[in-house]
A and B are shown apart, each in its own frame.
Chain A
């Protein structure tokens, strides 16, 4: 596709439910990043994929968070047993090769846990 695509754009879920957020990177981009941004705050790094591998999982806030990437393309971020503090905008970015190449963001998924 022309840009990074994220779905859904908005998600409202009840506390305790599981949610899946999807990121479809720019075609041919091998590096994929997930970030979280709470209202008025900076970008919090969650996880980085190079191909299907995640060299750095240290940013995931708790074991309720997991992410996978299959076929070197689409990535899914799963949050289990959602809590109100999980409410934020979840941003995905991709770059051609990681390692210093320019990264481009999707429009984000706004998650609200009620």
Chain B
């Protein structure tokens, strides 16, 4: 079964520090990975996508992908209280025929930034 695993947390980080969120996935064929942020009572909001091994930076966010080890991470620099939310990792698995199989989400990590 194709799965995406995340530590549910909560992960508590002091304001201004780096928050590190991790995600592992089960299918070696997956090519596309996404990080979403979800505030309580709101729908998920896409913050990063990553397709190639290595790092991808966007403002205070850096996504890291290591396909050999099957993990994806999200770093948030200079963490702010407004970053407190649940962060969802998603993988776009492929089916046996090589077609898209839909986005599979992890259960999310609850991040708390302490002022």
User: What residues of chain A have their CB less than 8 Å away from a CB belonging to chain B?
Assistant: 31, 33, 35, 41-43, 45, 48, 50, 55-56, 89, 91, 93, 98-108
Contact = CB atoms under 8 A, between A and B. Distances in A.
Contact of A103 (B34, B51, B108): B34
Secondary structure dominating the interface of B: strand
Interface residues of B, number: 26
Interface of B: 31-32, 34, 36, 42-46, 49, 51, 88, 90, 92, 94-95, 99-108
B34 A56 contact: no
9 contacts: A35-B105, A43-B44, A45-B105, A50-B100, A56-B95, A89-B43, A91-B44, A98-B92, A100-B51
B63 to A, nearest CB: 13
Given A98-B100, A100-B92, 17 more contacts: A31-B100, A35-B105, A42-B106, A42-B108, A45-B102, A55-B100, A55-B101, A56-B101, A56-B102, A91-B44, A100-B31, A101-B32, A103-B46, A103-B103, A105-B36, A106-B43, A107-B43
